[in-house]
């Protein structure tokens, strides 16, 4: 095995040769159980199909899931298309103590948000949140994990990454997600913490973040469609250059959204009391 020395003054300079050699070493040690991967994929696909029939899967993200699950090396485990939500959650405590009060997977209506806050008395703290989309999935090799990491960076999905590696089980757990997030407390047991003007501004901002989130989801769907076409004649990951049409389409749409951002900022200004 090659000795990779990171103790010298060059330890912060990671060369391409180092990355290639490190990957070769990892792959020589990490042997994936592909039979177990296929068993797990069949199990997760059955769960997904059942959830879709029950209406438990966000409709907007189903095309993404279908594309990923059609690829021989991949299966999805959970997902959300992005959401604005009110959740009753403690500052400290387990997740099961939280309660989702209201969820919007598209744009939220201010009056609905306001009424939901006014009509609910929280056990802990009532939070208004925006969460960007997330797709959790598993792949069967380091090669494809590396591809998705690089593609995520290219697509500006910066919070994406590898969550765990389990060669014996046969897969690497990853997710694709973005950085848009917002969390703020709006009510406690003692009363509402925000006035109407502030809440109206927050809902406007959350809706703008949702619009950007949906644009990124469209970009990701286009990316997966390109990858699906590539796999019709290839088994190995494609060059990242083939993703440029999806990125170009997204940037055009984002330019228009940036113009609307100026209108949004003027709108926020007008609500100051």
pLDDT in tens, 219-270: 999 999 999 999 999 999 999 999 999 999 998 988 888 888 777 777 775 6
Would 191 be classed as within a structural domain? yes
Cα separation values, 37 from 67, 119, 142, 171, 227, Å: 18, 47, 14, 6, 21
How many structural domains does the chain have? 1
Residue 37 included in any domain: yes
* Structure confidence at residue 166 (pLDDT): 81
| pLDDT single digits (tens) 20-33 | 665 565 555 456 77
Does the structure show a pLDDT above 60 at 5?
no
State residue 10's pLDDT score. 40
* Mean predicted confidence (pLDDT) in 200-208: 94
The answer as to whether 22 is a domain residue is no
Average pLDDT over residues 101-125: 96
Specify if 206 maps to a domain: yes
The radius of gyration of the chain from alpha carbons, rounded to an integer in Å, stands at 22
Output the CA–CA distances (angstroms, integers) from residue 7 to 3, 17, 56, in the order listed. 11, 17, 51
Does the pLDDT value for residue 46 go beyond 60? yes
Tell which residue, 27, 135, 132, 30, has the closest CA to residue 75.
Answer: 135
Percent of the chain past pLDDT 70, that is, above it, reads 86
Identify the domain containing residue 188 by its residue range: 29-270
Residue 10 falls inside a structural domain:
no
Supply the CATH number for residue 180's domain: 3.30.1960.10
- 14 lies in some domain: no
> Does residue 1 fall inside a structural domain?
no
130 dihedral zone (left: phi>0; alpha: psi -120 to 50; beta)? beta
Q: For residue 265, is it within any domain?
A: yes
d(CA 164, CA 139): 11
Token pair belonging to 220:
């990701």
Q: In this prediction, what percent of the chain has a pLDDT beyond 90?
A: 70
Token representation of residue 226: 């390109």
Query: Is 116:101 a contact under the CB 8 Å cutoff?
Result: yes
Whether 125 and 87 have beta carbons less than 8 Å apart is answered as no
């Amino acid at each position: 095995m090659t000795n990779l020395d990171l103790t010298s003054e060059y330890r912060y300079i990671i060369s391409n040769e180092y990355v290639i050699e490190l990957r070769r070493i990892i792959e020589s040690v990490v042997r994936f159980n592909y039979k177990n991967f296929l068993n797990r994929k069949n199990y997760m696909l059955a769960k997904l199909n059942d959830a879709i029939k029950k209406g438990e899967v966000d409709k907007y993200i189903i095309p993404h899931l279908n594309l990923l699950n059609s690829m021989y090396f991949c299966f999805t485990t959970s997902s959300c298309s992005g959401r604005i939500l009110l959740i009753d959650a403690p500052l400290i405590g387990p997740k099961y103590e939280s309660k989702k009060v209201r969820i919007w997977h598209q744009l939220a209506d201010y009056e609905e948000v306001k009424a939901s806050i006014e009509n609910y008395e929280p056990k802990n703290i009532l939070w208004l949140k925006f969460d960007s989309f997330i797709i959790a999935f598993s792949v069967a090799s380091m090669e494809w994990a590396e591809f998705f990491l690089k593609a995520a960076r290219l697509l500006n999905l910066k919070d994406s990454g590898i969550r765990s590696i389990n060669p014996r089980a046969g897969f690497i757990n990853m997710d694709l997600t973005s950085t848009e997030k917002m969390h703020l407390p709006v009510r406690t047991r003692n009363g509402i913490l925000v006035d109407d003007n502030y809440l109206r501004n927050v809902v406007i901002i959350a809706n703008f973040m949702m619009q950007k989130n949906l644009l990124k989801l469209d970009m990701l769907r286009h990316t997966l469609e390109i990858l699906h076409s590539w796999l019709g004649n290839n088994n190995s990951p494609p060059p990242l250059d083939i993703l440029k049409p999806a990125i170009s389409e997204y940037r055009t749409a984002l330019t228009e959204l940036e113009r609307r951002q100026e209108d949004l900022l003027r709108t926020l200004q007008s609500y100051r009391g």
